[in-house]
Amino acid sequence: MNRRDWLRAMVATGVLVLLAPLRALAAGWNKPAFEAHNVGDALKGLGISRVGPSRDIVLIAPDMAENGAIVQVEVESRIPGTESISILVEKNPTPLVANYLFSGGAEPYVITRIKMAESSELKIIVKAGDQFFSVAKQVEVALGGCG
């Protein structure tokens, strides 16, 4: 191995070492956001600051849920350039329920079944570019579903 090859190898290794933790970070579960005990801290964990209301987010959830263990939530964003949809339940012990990232032809649409500990506001946050939009709905829960 001559000097030039050696240098190349060193540079290649260095790049790999630098990339590895970045990739691990990107693949990591967002613990600060998901373990936050209030909506504000959860949003901070997601890197969300200014959120504006939007009429272009369709949220379908029951007005009244018999069983808080299974509440079906349907979300469709009509905001151009939607990248992600986050679902939060304000009064759950940990409000952030799910965060969906869309790419490669996925429509900004999702149906998920979630747990609600008690009657609460259900909050949806949509990320489009560097902007955040939200819509909320109050859901009354007859029997709490967070064991």
Partner 1 sequence: MADLIKMRARLKDGVTEIRVLMSHPMETGRRKTDMGEIVPAHFIQWITATLNGHVVLEAQWGTGVSKNPYLTFRIRGASIGDKVAISWHDNRGESNSGETAVEAA
Q: Which residues lie near partner 1 (CB under 8 A)?
A: 29-30, 34-35, 69-72, 74, 89, 92-107, 109-116, 145-147
Nearer to partner 1, 112 or 119 (CB): 112
Nearer to partner 1, 4 or 29 (CB): 29
C-alpha distances in angstroms, 54 versus 15, 33, 40, 59? 42, 23, 19, 11
Contacts of 67 by beta carbon, 8 Å cutoff, 6+ apart: 142, 143, 145
| Shortest distance in whole angstroms from residue 137 CB to partner 1 | 16
Rounded CA separation 90/146 (Å): 13
| Shortest distance in whole angstroms from residue 65 CB to partner 1 | 11
| Shortest distance in whole angstroms from residue 11 CB to partner 1 | 29
Query: Nearest-CA neighbor of 115 among 82, 138, 143, 135?
Result: 143
Nearer to partner 1, 61 or 114 (CB): 114
Nearer to partner 1, 4 or 113 (CB): 113
C-alpha distances in angstroms, 116 versus 13, 16, 55, 122? 48, 43, 24, 9
| Shortest distance in whole angstroms from residue 46 CB to partner 1 | 10
